[in-house]
Amino acid sequence: MGTTAGESTTALLESGESEPPQKSASPRPDRTGLIIAGAVLAACGGLVLYGVLNGEDEGGAQEHRVPTAEVTYEVTGTGTADITYQARGATGKTVTVDAADLPWRKTVEVPLGTEPLVGITLGEKGGQLRCALAIRGQHVQSATAAGKFGRATCSGELAAQEAR
């Protein structure tokens, strides 16, 4: 009943069967998958690093190629107002200032071909406000808002290609 390893091998040989498979003394794990995964990870890291370094160069260069014009927005009155205006960016990013203290003035670069715009909104207390817009130092438009939640908008035109 209880047999040893030597007896079972002898029994297998006498019955005509082949010897059981031998285990190697020092098993060596297959590391091919680990090596391939490391190579793929290194390649991905290299591509990401290339994209980050290359993207910084292009982003700065592209922003300087967009022709702009200097636009000054001004809001006068008393109290506070919510102000929304067009600022610099390839598409002319809109910026909102909540509860701005008055008087308020901001000069920004606006891309040619976009409409410079400043919108004002009074709060619940009401009041009277005036917005004004100037392009390259030239007054273009002004408007007045009055009363509770009063609104006004000033805008102008910036042609896509202006002659200087």
pLDDT at residue 82, as a whole number: 94
151-155: strand order across its sheet: 94-101, 80-86, 117-121, 151-155
Nearest-5° angle of CA 71, CA 94, CA 157? Answer: 40
* pTM, full prediction: 0.58
Q: Residue 117, Cβ neighbours under 10 Å: how many?
A: 19
- What would be the CATH architecture of the domain defined by 70-155? Sandwich (2.60)
Task: pLDDT tens for the chain, 164 residues: list them.
Answer: 555 555 555 555 555 555 555 555 556 677 888 888 888 888 877 777 777 777 655 544 444 567 889 999 999 998 789 999 988 755 568 899 999 989 999 999 888 888 899 999 998 888 899 999 999 999 999 999 999 999 999 999 887 765 44
Q: How many whole angstroms separate alpha carbon 139 and alpha carbon 83?
A: 19
